[in-house]
Amino acid sequence: METAQLSAPNAKLRTQSAVLAMAGVNIIWGAAFPLTKPALETIPPFTFALLRFTLALAVLLPLARGQALALLRGRDGRRLAIMGLLGFCMAQLAQTLALSLSPASDIALLSTASPLWIALLAWLWLGERLGRRGVLGFGLAIGGLALILWPHDGGTAGVGQRLLGDTIFLVNGLTWACYNVMGKDMMARHAPLPATAAAGLVGMAGLLPFAAGEWLIGRTPQWTLVGAAAVAYTGLLVTVLGFLVLFWAYSRVRAAQVAITMYLQPLAGVLVAWALLHEPLGGSFLAGAALVFGGVWLVTTGRSL
């Protein structure tokens, strides 16, 4: 009985520490969108993604002490390679390209779509019914996105580019959802550090030809203090700290408890974009954001993640 009484506070502290850590990471992730966007004016998007993960792996690989390569040669090597191509290559290429086309506030808000993709995948692959609550949630989220993207100034200047960027990032949510689902299963068998480093190594190899294509057409990076700071922020805080904390949290709490902290990501991103980049947050944007948040809340609370 005493053991059970003692373990209950420990379990509560374990849960609280994991949720608080993920809350902090999601704020870091959200702020990355507006902090990165100015850097993409001088560093091409694919090159930026490569530089970010090169820096991250320069930290992760020595810490993994050869375990990353051993994992890639092991029985889970193929799955880790797929994870790397999804989460560290395709997802990051799409994210940086979308951010170069769309306002940072759009991209930050659209980051809430990940739970929608997870719910949709569960319905299509696992046969988990969405129910009326889930269908209503999807409808609200889609309506909110339409309200945000619809041109309100009577003109169409920049609308096509913005719509393309937002669409790329929305579709990218499917890639990120697949990475998270695979990652949770993988971290049940392997430590987060070597597994993340292994996936990142494959992802960086996948980024190389895309960055090289930019260099061949003359799109080389022009280094500025803003660009260097953005690479450091996304490489060290967003990638190294963020990915390790994500899978550390997954090993201690339910996925639903981690997912709920994702609401902090768009809030941080939108506020920083407004304060730092002076991106307007008009009534239509705020109304659309409320619909998106409401829709995602209906979907995520109406099923077990």
Domain assignment present for residue 243? The answer is yes
Residue 259 has pLDDT above 80, yes or no: no
Determine the structural domain holding residue 91 and report its residue range.
11-112+176-280
Cβ-based neighbours of 260, under 8 Å, separated by 6 or more: 19, 300
- 3-state SS of 111-126? HHHHHHHHHHHHHHHH
230-235 mean pLDDT = 95
pLDDT digit string, tens, across residues 109-158: 777 776 677 666 666 665 656 677 777 877 787 787 777 766 555 445 46
Mean pLDDT of the chain: 81
**Rounded CA separation 195/184 (Å):** 11
Q: Which two tokens stand for residue 84?
A: 């790397």
Task: Specify if 157 maps to a domain.
Answer: no
Is residue 217 in a domain? yes
Helix spans in the chain (H): 2-36, 45-64, 67-73, 77-83, 91-101, 104-110, 114-126, 131-149, 159-187, 192-216, 225-232, 242-250, 255-260, 264-276, 283-301
Is residue 2 very low, low, confident or very high in pLDDT (cuts 50, 70, 90)? very low
Number of domains present in the structure of the chain: 1
Residue 239 lies in a domain: yes
Q: Which residues neighbour 236 within 8 Å (Cβ) at sequence distance 6 or greater?
A: 55, 56, 59
Give residue-wise pLDDT tens across range 215-228.
Answer: 999 999 999 999 99
- Please report the pLDDT score of residue 157 as a whole number: 47
- DSSP 3-state of 203: helix
d(CA 87, CA 103): 22
In a domain, 97, yes or no: yes
Task: Identify whether 129 is part of a domain.
Answer: no
DSSP assignment letter at 23:
H
**Is residue 296 in a domain?**
no
Residue 121 lies in a domain: no
